[in-house]
Structure 1
Amino acid sequence: MIKKLLVNNRIRAQQVRVIDETGKQLGIMPLREALQMAAKQNLDLIQVADKTEPPVCKLGDYGKYLYKEEKKERLTHKRKTNEIKGIRLTFNISSHDLETRANLAGKFLNKGDRVRVEMPLKGREKALGDFAKTKMNKFLEVLKNIIPIKIERELKREARGLTMIISKNQHAQ
């Protein structure tokens, strides 16, 4: 959420550092002079940084400034939604369960998330790594029929089993 900004006569500082619409510094001047300059150009004087001494004020249309700030905030929220979701497959997973997990992974990928596919191996399953790899490849084939995918991290054997990270392939139609 955007904080309340001080505009025009609500600014309380005696001296302000003024920046014009293009970002060019006009220097430090008394508040009264900065307000007169803004009034001559039919613009607002917006205090953008109050922690500095003297505070930084920008000449510009207050409505446009608010719109740009909200737009920036929305973009940062969009970028943060990209998470890694986890799908866990078992060694003896049935074909129907495999399809169900592939559909779930497809939903995650459509939302823009990346998916970590895990297959934990226990006991004797660790010795049958080739069978586990074929199960993972079958999962990928089922998933490729649903949505185009890109493998971000290849199938890798770790201490507890097999893992890989996949994402939606943006370039394939």
Structure 2
Amino acid sequence: MKISRRCLIIKELQINEEIRDKEVRLIDADGEQLGIVPGRKAQELAEEKRLDLVKIAPNAKPPVCKIMDYGKYKYELTKKEKEAKKKQKVINVKEIRLTPSIEENDIKVKAKRAIDFLKNGDKVKVTVRFRGRELGHAEVGKQVLGKFANLTSEYGVIDKQPKLEGRNMVMFLNPKNS
């Protein structure tokens, strides 16, 4: 019994002896189509070139396999993923909690903190938490959120209007694109 050079189980791609199809559409290492060949012959061709046979399109009729260096392919794939990760911007959501009976100076302090978050490019989730009978006066919470939005309007815009969710009224602010 022959032991393959490399027989790894990867979540999606099948390689070498894992491919048990009778016929496959074969692509050479140079990208040249070799047509439909028996699965055994495709594996032999890959072994002759000291490369791996990788099933790249398992759902096609017949499945498409390519002769390639699987280790190099996997390395380049992880390299591309790292590059993509570097380029993407992470947006954090910071939360500020208020109460319906918040004092004027307290709301200014919280607004100043929210402005710092917005300057850093973070989204801000502003929550007014109702306790007990305060829930009967949801309009007071809406007024507090409106006042908060006015204080931060220079640096942020309302992304999601105030909405009552259980015992909390929530509003989201996005940083302004300046």
- Confirm or deny: 8 A CA contact 1:89 1:98 kept in the other structure: no
Q: 2:61 matched to 1:61?
A: no
- Measured after TM superposition, the shift of residue 16 of structure 1 is 1.6
Cα distance between partner residues in 1 of 2:46 and 2:137: 77
Which residue in the other structure is 1:164 paired with? 171
Give the counterpart of 2:149 among 124, 132, 136. Answer: 136
Give the fraction of aligned pairs with identical amino acids, expressed as a percent: 33
Cα distance between partner residues in 2 of 1:82 and 1:22: 41
Cα distance between partner residues in 2 of 1:128 and 1:134: 10
Cα distance change of structure 1 residues 66 and 157 upon mapping to structure 2, 3 Å threshold: closer
The unaligned stretches of length 5 or more in structure 2 are 1-9
Deviations 1:12-61 (A, max 9, x none): 33322224568776532113443455467775321234466644312333
Cα distance change of structure 1 residues 165 and 16 upon mapping to structure 2, 3 Å threshold: same
Q: Radius of gyration: which is bigger?
A: 2
Cα distance between partner residues in 1 of 2:110 and 2:22: 66
Cα distance change of structure 1 residues 97 and 134 upon mapping to structure 2, 3 Å threshold: closer
- Measured after TM superposition, the shift of residue 71 of structure 1 is 5.4
Aligned ranges for residues 80-119 of structure 1 at < 5 Å? 86-94=95-103, 95-96=105-106, 99=109, 103=113, 114-119=123-128
Aligned ranges for residues 21-36 of structure 1 at < 5 Å? 26-35=34-43
Task: Say which is worse superposed, 58-67 or 114-123, in terms of deviation.
Answer: 114-123
Two-structure CA RMSD over aligned residues (Å): 4.7
Normalised TM-score (structure 2)? 0.53
- Confirm or deny: 8 A CA contact 1:45 1:59 kept in the other structure: yes
Cα distance between partner residues in 1 of 2:30 and 2:113: 50
Number of aligned residue pairs: give it: 159
Q: 2:30 matched to 1:17?
A: no
Cα distance change of structure 1 residues 72 and 87 upon mapping to structure 2, 3 Å threshold: farther
The unaligned stretches of length 5 or more in structure 1 are none
Normalised TM-score (structure 1)? 0.54
Deviations 1:120-155 (A, max 9, x none): 5734562685565223322x26x94xxxx45433xx
Cα distance between partner residues in 2 of 1:109 and 1:88: 19
Cα distance between partner residues in 1 of 2:50 and 2:119: 49
Q: Secondary structure at the match of 1:116?
A: strand
- Confirm or deny: 8 A CA contact 1:18 1:58 kept in the other structure: yes
